[in-house]
Structures are given as C-alpha cells and as structure tokens.
Homo-oligomer: A and B are copies of this chain.
Amino acid sequence: MAEAVRHDKTARQLRLLSDALDSGRLGPVKRLVNTLSPAEIGNLLESLPHGKRVVVWGLVDPEDDGEVLVHVGDEVRESLLADMDPDEIVAAVEDLDIDDLADLVEDLPGTVIDEVLKSMDRDNRERLEQVLSYPEDTAGRLMNPDVVTVRADTTVDVVLRYLRLRGELPEHTDYLYVVSRRHQYLGRIGLAQLLTHEAGTPINQLIDSEQPAFDVDESAAEVARQFSDHDWLSAPVVDDNHVLLGRITVDDVVDIIREQAEHQALSAAGLDEDEDLFSPARRAFRRRLVWLGINLATAFIAAGVIGRFEAAIEEIVALAILMPIVAGMGGNAGTQVLALMIRGLALGQIGGSNVRILLRKELGVALINGLALGIGLGLIVLLWFRDPMLSLVIGTALTINLLTAAAGGVLVPLTLKRLGFDPALAGGVVLTTLTDVMGFLGFLGLATLILLR
C-alpha cells in the first residue's frame, strides 16, 4: 500500500516524461528533468530503454551529470559514460565529493582518470589517492576526508572565531572532531554544544569521548550495522595509530543498506543488484543462461530419481500425476525456513549455540504441518483415486518431505556459509534439489514398497 504511493509518484513523472518524449518536443522534457534531484534523474534514467535514455541524458543539466552518475547502477552507468566524450566526463566528475568520486573512479576510462587527477589541486588529489588506497566495501572507501578538527586546549569563543574565519563547513557537519597534536582522535563536540555554552567554556569540558571511531579497514556491512543500531548520523574513521582520517555520514550508510537489500532479493534468483532493467537481450541472456543451466543440471538429478521408478509409474499412472505435489510442497516449506535463516544469519542471530533449538523447533512445525496437510492431501487423493493405500502413501511421503525441508532449510544455509558460499545466492537451488529428490524418492519408493509388493 505504502509502496503503491511511491510507485505512483515516480510512475507519474515517468508517464509525463514519456509523453513529452513521444511528442518529440524536447523543451518540456528538459524542463521536467531539471526539476528533479540527481537521484531522481538517475532513477528515471534506469527506467528508460536505451534509446530514450540517451536522449534524456543529453538534456540533463551538465552540473548534475556527476551526481547522477553516482546514483545509478554499474550497468546503467556504463551505458551513460559510453555516451560522453572524455572532456564531458572530466567536467562532470571533477566537482564531486572525494567519497563519491572514489565510488565512480573504477568505471571511468584510464585517460579520464588522469585528466581528473590533473584538474584537481594537490590537496584533493592526495585525498582521493588516499581513499582509493583502501579496498572497496571498507570504512576507508566510505569516508570523506574533509573534516573540521579542533584542539582540546582551547575555549568555545576561540573555536567560534575560527569557524567564522573558516566560513562554510563541509556538508552534513554535525560535530567537530577534537584531535591531539599528532592528529589523533580524542572525541567530538556537537555544533549544538558550541551554541548552547558560554564563550569562555573550555573545549575539554565539552568533549564527548563516547563516540567510538571506526577502524579504516572495518567492513562496510559492519559500519552499516553500527550506524543503524546506534542511530548515529556520522562517525569518525581512524588508522592503526588512532590518527583521524575522515568521517562517514549516514547518507552513505543508507545507500549501503539499500544495496544489501537489493543484493539479497535478487541473488536468490541468481541476479546481480547492478542488473539494468533494460540491458540488451543478448547481454541479459548470457547471465541468465548460467543460472538456468545450473538449475537444469539439478533438474536432471530429480529426473534420474524418477527414472529409477519407471516400473511403478507404468503400473500406477496416478503416481506420475501426484508426485509433483509432494516435491513442490517440500520446496515451498523449505523456502519458508530458508528465508528466516538467511535473515537470521544476516543479522548474526544464528550461532552454534541455538542451531539445535532452532532445528528442533522447525522439525516440530514441519511434523504438525506434515500431519495436518498429509491427512488433508490423503483425503483428497482418496476421493479422487478411491485407493486408501495410495492416500496413506502420499500423506506419509508429504510428512517425510516436510521434515526433510525443515532440516534442509536450517542446515543447508549454515553449511553453505561454513563452506564460504553465499546462502542467499545458492541456498534455494541446493534446497529445492534436496526436496525434489526426497519428494520423488519418498513417494515413489513408498509406493513401490506398499502398493506394488
């Protein structure tokens, strides 16, 4: 419901824009596009097929080009960059914040990077090179080195005078950082503190030393967790010697959280979060083919199991009609457990100590569900095929497969994780292979034992 609202707003802009584009008069399109924020323009570009995307991209105010590039996925970004000449790219990105620029730099052509570096002053160049020296997905890459620092052995009025001299503060500055003579991080002072205390108050009385600093090597995921757990708006980043290197602000954390969520949602279907909705068919096809190929291989495992029971199926064709039900229900039940496990693992809520309890709970749920659904399924099958033993077989097989699904739902993601695979990516394939095999094997095996003797 809430989602619908969001959809409606952007979709309305999209419709307006599309109508204007179709009419061929680009004036209105340009006016419309340039009322939007760079993120909104990025979102709009992602929702346009290639032809229209190029036209609209040409109409974006060059001043916004850099910010828009920051806000689109890797694949769309490539398609936009392909449409610009080197000078345009340099002009677009040279005024970006260091952290945004660092984010882009790997997608830029080498000659452009050199140009951009040349166009920067030495200070900024050194800062960019420093940020780029840290691996992706670490605090070092997320931080902005542009911070305002003060010393502890001074007073409020001195700081106020310094700030007035300095003029504008970096965007989203809510705290000044207090550092030692060797630029080590000691604590922070809120702008609010400076405003609400008398001029003569010594700074060291106002220092908040509770705010911990991130190590520059800290993972982006851990940074995001701490920001969201502690409701921080910004946090300092330090090196091994506790020297202050920069600060991370919550707006970048919001981006990380969004990306994590997209990754989780799309990787279950074997897709990448940078996938372009309108990527050319031949490109999309290749990526999907790999995933479908893996699934085809696992489908043959299940088919092989069925093949073992040719004789039984030849004798009782009802087995062929009913066997997908048993296999499919196992897949559905297993997917539920898997979804809970993947969330629990992502939140760090599942450790060695509670796995056994979780497994016992899930097996309990599966047993009750298996009995309830097994009896229901048995009754329907009895009405359909008028064969009480067939009913017994399918009810039992369903219960066995739901128990398999529960055990697999808990243990497959844990095992994958231990082996270094991403459970969100591979969990579904492995688990449904398991429930397919067990569904066919249990049902056809029991039928062979009980019905065919």
Contacts and interface: CB of A to CB of B under 8 A. Distances in A.
B347 A221 contact: no
A265 interface: yes
Interface string A200-237: 00000000000000000001111001011111110000
A336 B269 contact: yes
Contact of A277 (B15, B300, B320, B344): B344
Contacts of A342: 265
Interface string A133-157: 0000100000000000000000000
B260 A47 contact: no
A404 to B, nearest CB: 14
A306 B281 contact: no
Nearest to A225: B6
A201 to B, nearest CB: 10
Interface string A315-330: 0010111111101110
A30 interface: no
A195 B196 contact: no
Contacts of A289: 369, 372-373
Contact of A278 (B1, B299, B358): B358
Contacts of A450: none
A350 interface: yes
Given A195-B194, A306-B321, A340-B266, A351 B15 contact: yes
A75 B112 CA distance: 54
Contacts of A422: 3
For A3, A196, A319, the residue with the greatest tally of chain B CB atoms inside 10 Å of its CB is: A3
A399 to B, nearest CB: 12
Interface residues of A, number: 144
A338 B15 CA distance: 22
A99 to B, nearest CB: 12
A292 B333 contact: yes
A295 B336 CA distance: 12
Nearest to A350: B47
Contact of A299 (B219, B264, B329): B329
A48 interface: yes
A24 interface: no
Given A348-B43, A373-B296, A221 B2 contact: yes
A221 B8 CA distance: 12
A377 interface: yes
Nearest to A176: B195
A348 B285 contact: no
A58 interface: no
A36 B248 CA distance: 22
Contacts of A163: 195-196
A317 B310 contact: yes
Given A281-B365, A306-B324, 4 more contacts: A11-B352, A43-B348, A46-B347, A292-B369
Interface of A: 1-12, 14-15, 18-19, 22, 37, 39-40, 43, 46-49, 71, 137, 160, 163-164, 166-169, 172-174, 191-192, 194-198, 219-222, 225, 227-233, 249-251, 253-255, 257-258, 260-262, 264-266, 268-271, 275, 277-278, 281-282, 284-285, 288-289, 291-293, 295-296, 299-300, 302-303, 306-307, 310, 313-314, 317, 319-325, 327-329, 332-333, 335-336, 338-340, 342-354, 357-358, 361, 364-365, 368-369, 372-373, 376-377, 380, 417, 422, 436, 440
